[in-house]
Each structure stands twice: as structure tokens, then as C-alpha cells.
Structure 1
Amino acid sequence: MTGPRTAALAGWLAALALVLAACGSSSSPSHAPAAAPSGAASAAGARDADLSGVTLRVGQTGWAQFKAALQVAGLDHTPYRIKWAVFPGGDKQLQALQAGALDVAQTSDIPPVFAAAATTPKWRVVAVQRAATLQQNVVAAKGSGITGIAGLKGKKVGYVQATTAQFFLYKLLVQNGLTWNDIHAVPLTPQDGVAALSSGSIDALATYGNSVVTTVRQGATVIGSGQDILSGNFPWEASTDVVADPARSAALVDLLARVNKAYVFIRDGHEEELAKIDAQDTDQPQSQALEQIRANEQQIPTAVRPGGAAQIAKEQDVADTFSRLGVLPGKVDVASYWSDALSARLTGALGTS
């Protein structure tokens, strides 16, 4: 397996290209700031500062989910510009963030651990998004005859390196009396994993999101889930330059408050509107997208929150797990790349105490 340090360094140029080629649609600033997410949900910095010259380059994984949520809630007309970019994984977002090709990333709690192990981070975790852990599965190829995790012994198993997929695959193996060395682990991107499973190049795949939907549609069988293994914490990372910049950090706080407000709106009877966009972007039936959205919001309602000791401790467990697995070069101090620099403003913007 390629070491995480080598993989991160090698991926930066590719990540730069991804930013340019990804969905780079933007939200243009309105001539006057749009109505902010009601009352306390508006960032004070966004009200007080002229943000018309600010551009935030924001990454997402899989499909443009946050952009769609803001559109559904009518919160997409921001007093600053947003350039959205979609990536195949959170690790690629952090490579782009480290290289200066992205301002803001949103990942699971696994990619930051690997990125911090690879180099000194030029970014900080500034908030956490609580979100569902559904659609994080191990799927067996059609006709493979594999019916459970124990059946993976000696098999070729694809996984998305440095993501939730690698973490829950490892945990599921241990739960079933196996070790990482009991399988032939093959690191793949989600897209390449789907293709490899379909062609028979691998016997099973640990993946997430749209890749699960696609493989199941092609006849794969779900044999394991990360639902009860993963924390449900999905960090928002920002470059240290953004954190230190008054105008850009104010725009980021406002954006996070808008995302939080958007999901409150969606849960208040507007799931079908989001499902319509989701179905178009992910090429699945709208009824299926709606079912998944409702299941996600029922399991863990999507919400943005400032980070804290509890979230840091859970991510430290992730780092320690990968250290035991031998894929991290020693211990990673998770707290070193978390920052509370935006917490007070975000708390005010969210209307929380």
C-alpha cells in the first residue's frame, strides 16, 4: 500500500486539476445582501462587513449537496461569491486545500488524520457537521457468493483510502475475527471501485454514498455497514489564511449558518424538493432519493455545530486506530489541527449557547 505521506504529496497536482475540472458553478453576490437565515442564524460579521469582494472556494464530496440544500431553502443568494467544486473523496479536498486550490473543505473525520500525518496542515477544523452514517457499506460483487464479512478472507477487497470506508472496513474485519492482512486490500477511488466490482476485478468494495447506490443497482449485495461504527461527525476545514482573514472568515461563518438553516427548512416538509435535485445529480429515481434523505434526517438530523472536546476525542480514536493498523507514521495529535477561532461567532450565528 502506498504510504499516506507519499499519497498525499503525489495527489496535490491531481487535486489542483480536479478543482479546475470539478463542478465549479458559483453563487454570485447580490447587489444587496440576501435575507440572512432568520435572526440569530445570521453571522454578525456578514452583516457588518462588506463581503461583495469575497470569494470562497468550497469543496464537497459526491454531489453538490450543500449547494442544492441552499437553493431549496432560498438561501443561495449570498453577499459573497461561492465557487463549488465536487471531489471523489474528502482526502482529495484536503490535498487541494493544502495546495491552496481550495478555501473550505467538508469531509468525514478520517481524511484530516491522514492529511495531518502527511505534512504540516495549512488548514484547521473550524466546525463539525452532524450527519447520518447511512450508505457506508461493504458490498459483495454479483455472483461472488460472499454473504458476510467473514467471507472476505483471502478475497480482493476495494476500499477508498484515508476515508470512512477504510475505517469501517477495518472495524468490521476485527468484529468478524479477521485482520487487515486476511484480505487483499486494493485502494481505489469510488468511481474506479464501482468499475472494478462490476468487471470482477475485485470481490467486494467498501464505499459510500452514490457508489453504494450504483453497485446495488448493478446487482451487488450489501454485506456490512459502518452505520453504527462511524461517529456522525463531519468536519468543516478552512485554510489558515481564511481563518485569519476577517472578511473571508465572516463569509464562512455566514455560509455555515445558512447550511444549518437550510436543513432545518428541508426537514420542515421540503424533502421532496431536495430529492428532485438529488435524483437528477446522482442518476437515481426520485423516490429512492427521497427515501434516503428522510432516512438520513431521521437517523441523525444534519446540523452544523462548533467543535469541542467530545468531537476531538472521537477523531483521536480514529487516529489511534489507524496507527494500530500501521498505516499512520506514529501518533497524530488531533487537537493540533482543530481551532475554536470561529466558534464564538458561529455560536452566535446559529443562535445556540
Structure 2
Amino acid sequence: MNRRRFFLTACSWWLFFFIVFLYPKINVSTNWLRQNFFFSLGCLLALATTACSEVKSNSPATIAANPSPSQIAVSNITQLRVAKYKGGWDLNLKLAELDNFSYKTQFTEFTGGNLMVQAINAGAIDLASASEIPPIFAIESKASVKIIATLKGPTVGQVLLVPKNSTAKTIADLKGKKFGYVKATTAHYFLIKMLEKVGLTMKDINAIPLSIPDGLSAFRKGELDAWATYGYSIPQAQKEGAWVLESAKDILSGNFVIIASPNAIADPQKKVVIADFLCRLQKSQAWRESHLKQWSKNYATTIDVDEGIVYQDAKQGQQQRRQELLPVSDAAIASQQKVADTFFQAGVISTKVDVKQLWDSSFNEDIAKCQ
């Protein structure tokens, strides 16, 4: 950009100098003057057109669709702060060779989407992913967070676990027992729905909200009769004999949302790099789907679980539904509204909320161009 401005300025001065000083003094043919005059004018117009077209090409949509170092150079001073799960986005991007960012990227590990929402609200994170549930609680707490896309994926990795010596046949057999769950997450939601199916509520059990690490620790110590959990904690518990009492695969929508800080969206430079990151994320998901064996091996090493278990779970998930990044849609908003209404009816949130206020569709065009 700076080089073109230099040549544009130089050409302008040459044209000015030619007309004012050279034209009256040079005693040559009219044709020669005309040829050089229009050559200079053509040079000026060509450079002006090039400069203007370059300005237009600096949109987030263009960079997301076909990012180049020169286009994102303006964002080299910008740092994108990204929340991730263990073995999450950073691993996928690295394996797919899509981690060659032209801007600074800082990954911070979290164990749940609820914690990521809190971090975004505190101004510590720019971008994260969660189920559709944590942002619902953000409305009631007046937290500042926006949903900019949906990660549609399988729901097989969401279950109610019981210890290896449990004699329970259904969740109804555990009335009055100790249940661990992660508050304001999918585990909270599917536990409510599982209890509802057998005529029970959260008041009919001893429900203990725990983080994933604390829940795993309590479960291993025998302090829980059941544990509503998700992700890598499942194979870790299964290694010690835990088994699945009930799966949430038919309860959940599979909508995991991309959440962002409103301040990051409002920052022109940061919005450009978010668009680029979403494009890379989408491509890394496609890579994972076609390299499931390689991904499973690396993910298993990262979370310290047997590769065979990880691959089996990943294959089962792929058979249910392939993962893909999708733009904001009315269907996704309606799905989240249904979940919010369930929490309100269960008395988990005190007011009925309208989730539309959470959604921001300004990246829809960028996502579509990456497909």
C-alpha cells in the first residue's frame, strides 16, 4: 500500500512538472507531446485505479476467503485471545497445518463454556466456543457476549455416568442420591431432561455443581452416585470402570456456538482477524473429518487416554453427524430459545429471556465464502 502511494505521488508530480515546465519549452512535434502527455495521464489513472481496488480488497470477507500476508499485515499488531479446551482448536489447527497466523494468537485453556463466557465478560478473552447454554445465563447476569456462528456436531460425548459397582438400571433408581454436574452447561440441561422423563426434578436429587476436574476427582473417590458430564472426562472415568447409565445424544441439539466479545467485534482490525480465524477453523474441521485416525492418535496423547477409545467415540460421533461451522440462522436461534424456556420452567433462571439479543450475524458472509 505504501509503495503504491509513493509511485502515485511521484507520477502526479511528473505530470504537473511536464505540463507546467516542459510543455511550453520543448520544440518538438505535436504528436510527440500528445503521446507523452497521454502516457503520463495513463500512468496516473492506472495507479489510482490500482490503489482504489486495493482499498476495496481489504474487507473481512475478502481476507477470510483468501487471506494473504499483505492483506493481514495491518493486523500484525493485533492479538487475538482465544479460549480453547484441552486438545481443542489449537490441536486441530496445528494438525491441519492452518496455524500459520499472520497475527498474534494466544490460546488459553478452559474446562467449560461457562468459564469462557465469564472470561469474555471480564475482557480477558476475545473468542471461544461453548454449547448453546452458557450464553443463556449471560443474559440474566447481564454479561457482555455475542454468538457469531454455530459449530454443528455430534452429541454422543454427553452422558450420565455411574461407578462400576452401581446397581442402578435407570435414573429413577437414583432418587435422593448425589449427582455431580457442571452448572450452566449441557450437563445441567440434559440432567433436567433425563429427570423429567421419569417424573423427577432437580429437587428430587442431591445435585452438586462441580467443575470437570473437581467432578472427576469426586467421582474417582466414590463421593458421587452419578455424574452428568461430557468430553474427555468420560473416557478417563471409563478407564476405571465407570459406565454409561444414559446418553444425552437424543436430548441435545448438537449446536455448539462460537462466542465473541462485543468489543472485539467492534474493533475493525480484530474483526478482520476473527473472520480469518473462523475460516481456518472451518477448514480444520473438514480436515479432522477426513483424517479421523490421525486426529484420534494425537488427541488421545494430549488427554492421556487410550487411542482406541478415542477413535471409537470419534467414529461413532461421525456416524451420527459430521462437524461443520455454520452461519447464524433462525433455526439455531429457535433451538437455543427452547433450551432457555426449559431452564425458566425448571426454575433455574428467574426470568423468561429472549435469546435473539445474543446473536450477531455480521460474519455470515465471511463464513459462506469459506465453504
TM-score by length of 1: 0.83
**Distance 1:298-1:259 versus aligned 2 partners, 3 A rule:** farther
SS state at 1:43 partner: helix
Give the match for residue 346 of structure 2. Answer: 325
Q: CA-to-partner distance for each residue in 1:184-211, whole Å, 9 max, x for gaps?
A: 1111111111111222222110000111
Gaps of 5+ in 1: 1-39
Partner of 2:145: 123
Q: Does 1:111 align with 2:146?
A: no
Report the alpha carbon displacement of residue 224 of structure 1 after superposing the two structures with TM: 0.9
Query: Of residues 141, 160, 185 in structure 2, which corresponds to 1:138?
Result: 160
Counterpart for residue 53 of structure 1: 77
Does residue 202 (structure 1) correspond to residue 242 (structure 2)? The answer is no
In the alignment, does 2:89 pair up with 1:66?
A: yes
More helix by share: 2
Which residue, 304, 309, 317 being the options, matches 1:283? Answer: 304
Alignment partners' CA distance in 1, 2:102 and 2:190: 40
- Kept in 1, the 8 Å contact 2:128–2:259? The answer is yes
Aligned residues: 308
Counterpart for residue 34 of structure 1:
none
Letter in 1 for 2:79: T
Shift of 1:266: 2.5
Give, in angstroms, the shift of residue 41 of structure 1: 9.7
Q: 2:63–2:72: 8 Å Cα contact kept in structure 1?
A: no
- Residue of structure 1 in register with 2:317 after alignment: 296
Structure 1 stretches of at least 4 aligned residues deviating more than 3 Å after TM superposition: 44-49
Asked if 1:161 is matched to 2:176, the reply is no
**Does the alignment pair 1:240 with 2:239?**
no
Whether the 8 Å contact between 1:124 and 1:237 is mirrored in structure 2 is: yes
> Is the Cα–Cα contact under 8 Å of residues 131 and 255 in structure 2 kept in the other structure?
yes
Q: 1:336 to 1:145 in 2, by over 3 A?
A: same
What CA deviation, in whole Å up to 9, does each residue of 1:53-89 have, x standing for no partner? 221111123x132111111111111111211111111
RMSD between aligned alpha carbons?
1.7
Secondary structure of the 2:256 match is: strand
In structure 1, the residue matched to 2:54 is none
**Structure 1 residue 265 displacement after superposition:** 2.0
Q: Deviations over 1:287-337 (max 9, x none)?
A: 222222222222221111111110000000111100111110201110011
Name the residue aligned to 2:192: 170
Percent identity, aligned pairs only, is 36
Distance in 2, Cα, partners of 1:239 & 1:46: 23
User: Judging changes above 3 Å, is the alpha-carbon distance between structure 1 residues 105 and 96 closer, same or farther for their aligned structure 2 residues?
Assistant: same
Query: Match of 2:210?
Result: 188
Sort the Cα spacing of 1:188 and 1:42 in 2 relative to 1 into closer, same or farther, 3 A: same
Secondary structure (helix, strand or coil) at the match of 2:356 reads helix
SS at match of 2:131: coil
Kindly state the Cα deviation for residue 153 of structure 1 after the two structures are TM-superposed: 0.8
TM-superposed deviation, 1:248 = 1.1
Contact 1:160 1:190 in 2 (8 A): yes
Question: What SS is found at the alignment partner of 1:224?
Answer: strand
The Cα offsets for residues 220-249 of structure 1, whole Å up to 9 and x where unpaired, read as: 221111101111111101111111122211
CA shift, 1:45, in A, is: 8.4
Unaligned runs of 5+ in 2: 1-60
Match of 1:346 in 2: 367
